[in-house]
Structure 1
Amino acid sequence: MKKVQSDNPRILAVQTLSRVKEGAYSNLQLNQVIKKNELSLANRHLLTNLVYGVIQHRLTLAYWLQPFIAGKKLDNWVRELLYSALYQWQMLDKVPKHAVFNESIEVAKKLGHSGTTKFVTAILHQIDRQGLPDFKQIKDPVERLSVEYSVPTWLISELEESLGLDKVTAILQAINQAPHQSVRVNLKKATPREVRQLLTEEGYEVEASPVAAEGLVIKGKNSVVHSKAYKLGLITIQDESAMLPVEALQVNEQVKQALDVAAAPGGKTTQIAENLPADGQVLALDIHDHKLKLIEQNAERLGLSEQIQVKKLDARKIPETLTEKYDRILVDAPCSGLGLLRRKPEIRYEKSLADVESLAKLQLSILSAASQVLSQNGIMVYSTCTILPQENDQVVAQFLADNPDFEQIPVQTSKNLKADRTEAALHIYPDDYQTDGFFLAAFKHRE
């Protein structure tokens, strides 16, 4: 691939995808490219859409392209160019086929040589003549779902075992939908009604969240980070389901000391502080200095610095380090993040079952350590942003087996979600409310 300086979003997308394929983080790489190039809003959207779209649908695109490149040796960037052409052609309604072809051939010209240009032209016209292979040709249902929704077979198999094929299919359909913007209102500064009015005046379409009491769902082309409400510290950008762990803590006027054991970047820490009485405090832990700074910055923006303390600490060392007891403890544990596939599409290719099992051991050790500083009448909530039982129900079962002085209590949420469920824990799957996937369990000392 030639080194080319360009502000063409299609060229930038191919360059970015090639670097991501070589190991760069997609979000960091994309942010760097956007910062370096003066792009119009439309071109920035197209670049972002192409990069995340190709990553999100990589297994599907590979299946479609394979019959046409079998036995041919392709440079990384040529493969990414063909993937981006297929993505635009098949998955973007507003880009006509002739434009996709012409633009892709132009990118091949700019980044390659005449041979590459002829090759890309030939492949695109061959696909147009012969048509794409049909998913129905794949007999195995798990493999077919894997290719159609671009999710590894191991993950589909694990989910199918606990949820069944129909539910898994609904989840897969949901994770490939674009996430909407949602925000949490800072109750120390404003009411949801006031914030809703302010955002509406700025041209955003705003609805109350059906999931979280302090949540608002925002529609509009501009990111809400540019809004007056954000700049005044009235809102935090947060997925609706990510607001639920703090709701489950049941923070009230009697709560004076709270602990957030894996707190960065501070979204849930600030939510706890917003619900504490004026003399309440929350201690936020993390093992990285730069992440503690993020918590402090978030606290300052929201006007909550006086109620939030930070401490550098490995949560597994809580019992020998912290001497106080806490009325509320949140263990939003490090996890595989497989409930976040709408927002972080590459996670699906990076994680393995071995990673999940290793994380489950870490989660259990953190939960056990945190439980030792819970006050006698306190509540502890364990949450993850994953949807696999190994990191959720199985961790809870093992914790209760190891700690008979604790009991699991039903998770309570402001909107009384899944009120008819029979289990104490709360599972939120991406297809339930079109949010991120989350798991919540709550505990108290046994009477």
Structure 2
Amino acid sequence: MGTRPTGPEEKNMIGYQSRLKLKTHNTFKVGFILFVGEFDDEPLRAKLIREVDTHGILHEFVNKTRKEVIDKLTCVLEKRLTEYLKQIQEELNRYSPPTGNAASSLCEVNAILRRLKQAERYPEDLTENDDENGIEHLDVNRVLQRFSESLLYHELDGNVLNVVTNDQGIKEEIEAGLLEAGFENLHLVITVEDHLSISELSETGEPLHGAKFVYVNEGVDAFHSNQSFATTGSLMFTSQNHEMVAVTCRHALEQVDTCYTLIDNEVVKLGEEMAQQNNNMEKLHDDIAVVLIDEETRPIISEKCEKLLIDDFGHPSPAQMSLQDLSVGDIVHKRGAKTGLTTGIVKNVEAKIYGRFVLPSTVIHIAGRDFKPFAEKGDSGSLVFQHTLSLEKDSLNVFAMVQGKTTIPNVGDRIICFPMKKGCETLIQNIPNLQDLQFYDS
């Protein structure tokens, strides 16, 4: 056994081992140099270009303003990540059709590529033409529309189309329609079920975004062990009356109108539901409620609790209601009382009658990543969000609220959500004197 090197020799050995490790895991074969400064000296600029070209190094020149440097670095990083992900995508596409881990990995790669193309500084806009799945999803949906009354669910994942129907004889008709539309390479999996089982997630949490709330106050120990609870989606306020409220799912408050939460290891009355006189729960997005924060609790919240939403890095962040809609392939996050922070991928968005509701509305289906559930019982009321991708302002876009869960044959669990902007429209229509709802920004 040799002796351990010391001094400069040791440092050289460590450096050599580090270089070996980096070389083994180096994803990008070609480096990049960003020259920052004022380059009015053309001979100097030309000399720099010749030098880096000799070594095959990519380069850019940029003025020394902070904004330009950040913009350029961001674009460079996004482009290089995109190139790397597309290489992985090509490898995964060799599995036809992708199954198991390959299918799951391809789904995540496609979702990340889509998110990169949505970035503010990305050099090219995201369009349906370069969206990996956009056109195909639209065309497949057009074919399936003629069978909408018989379809319980459908999901296109790569070149595998999973369909759940209540009509035994519909398979040949769908296959013929897909062939006629030019989808001869699509792998169709059809399951026949009388209905889909749907469970709302207000059963079996800390202040306040994603906080647990219960329906009875039996002390701290009972609060922790209580298995009948839901999630406080977020604190919000009404600008006209400056009232503090919390949003959640309405089905979580159907049996009671008062709820309690834990603040500073003490059970306190969070508040009571604000009555919705004309909300008959006819549409999925009618399943939303606001709890008016109790006057005695409000000072405690102001002193002890974070009123901002917590992002996926655990940092308090300002938020706003997104005016955009989620699309298939989008990556999203939520923070719930049961499962905490989770990340998911939007698998399907459709307008239909769902569960106990009697009128069509937008239904968003989300699957968890890495074989982890996106939500479980106790997560009803969680808010579904994304980062804005702005370089100048770190904030969140809120898209939807978690409502329930269904299990799709051959696919697995899908979390049911509805658009948050539609839910807020329901609240404003049905609560007297409620004109708007806003997130806290400080």
TM over 0.5, shorter chain: no
Classify the TM-score, shorter chain: under 0.3
Larger CA Rg, structure 1 vs 2: 2
Greater strand share, structure number: 2
Report the TM-score when normalising by structure 1. Answer: 0.22
- TM-score (normalised: structure 2): 0.22
